[in-house]
Amino acid sequence: MTTIIVAMTAEGGIGLDREIPWVSQEDMRFFYAETTRKEWSDSSVWAPPNAVIMGRETWESLPRALRGRVNVVLSERWARMSADDIARETGGPAPDIVADSFSSAIDALAEMQCNNEVGRIFAIGGERVFAEALRATGDHACDELIVTHILPLVPCDRKFPIALAVEAGFAGLAETPIGGVEATVCDQPFPIYAPACVFRRYARTAAR
């Protein structure tokens, strides 16, 4: 099973002009802690790294690979290229894994899980990855949604598919306002620094 982790406004906004329009150390610490936390309760026992699945634009927006995690990028074009060709195109190292779809990425990671080479699996964005993850069924389905609710209503041109999440069984997002979290008026210039935020976990309440 997979976990979706996302920071979004009350309107589902996740990005503006291919960037995140807020800077939140609190959210970054939370994201790092969640995506690196191991399933093992005994910290003295070695556990494999977790995996993070993202789209090409999300990968290219990062200053570097997310350390301590298996970086998986979805790109139909890159899936037909060698790691060296990707590195030459981007001017940096290639992701650990490139897949042409969310489904094929999960298949590759499931095999790695069987070999104890990867732990938990997270879908971290952007829009296409979230949509594919929410449409996945069976063993590929997401069973948890972790949301950092950004309270200021920051204008965004990239959105998390809230309606699709509700349809997939994350009924908690159907509350009004979204997730039952009250938004606030945004009166700061962009980017918004240290926006107030609320962390919520949503479990799927309906089988797919």
Q: Where exactly are the structural domains of the chain?
A: 2-40+47-203
Is 178 in contact with 44 (CB distance < 8 Å)? no
* Burial class (CB within 10 angstroms; exposed 0-12, middle 13-18, buried 19+) of 138: exposed
Q: Which CATH number fits domain 2-40+47-203: 3.40.1670.10, 3.30.70.20, 3.20.20.105, 3.40.430.10?
A: 3.40.430.10
Q: What is the reported pLDDT for 40?
A: 64
> Residues 116-138: pLDDT tens digits?
999 999 999 999 999 999 999 99
- Taken in order 32, 38, 42, 43, is the CA torsion positive or negative? negative
Q: pTM value?
A: 0.94
Strands (E), the chain: 2-9, 13-15, 22-23, 50-55, 69-74, 97-99, 121-125, 142-150, 158-159, 192-193, 197-203
Residue 148 binned pLDDT confidence (cut-offs 50, 70, 90): very high
Q: Are 129 and 102 in contact (CB under 8 A)?
A: yes
Do residues 14 and 149 lie in contact, with contact meaning Cβ atoms separated by under 8 Å? Answer: no
Strands of the 142-150 sheet, one edge to the other: 97-99, 69-74, 50-55, 121-125, 2-9, 142-150, 197-203
**What pLDDT is recorded for position 208?**
52
38 has pLDDT over 90: no
* pLDDT computed for residue 189 by the predictor: 78
Closest Cα to residue 2, out of 190, 162, 126, 129?
129
Instruction: Work out the average pLDDT over 31-45.
Output: 81
Instruction: Please give the average per-residue pLDDT across 92-119, as a whole number.
Output: 97
Give residue-wise pLDDT tens across range 195-204: 999 999 999 9
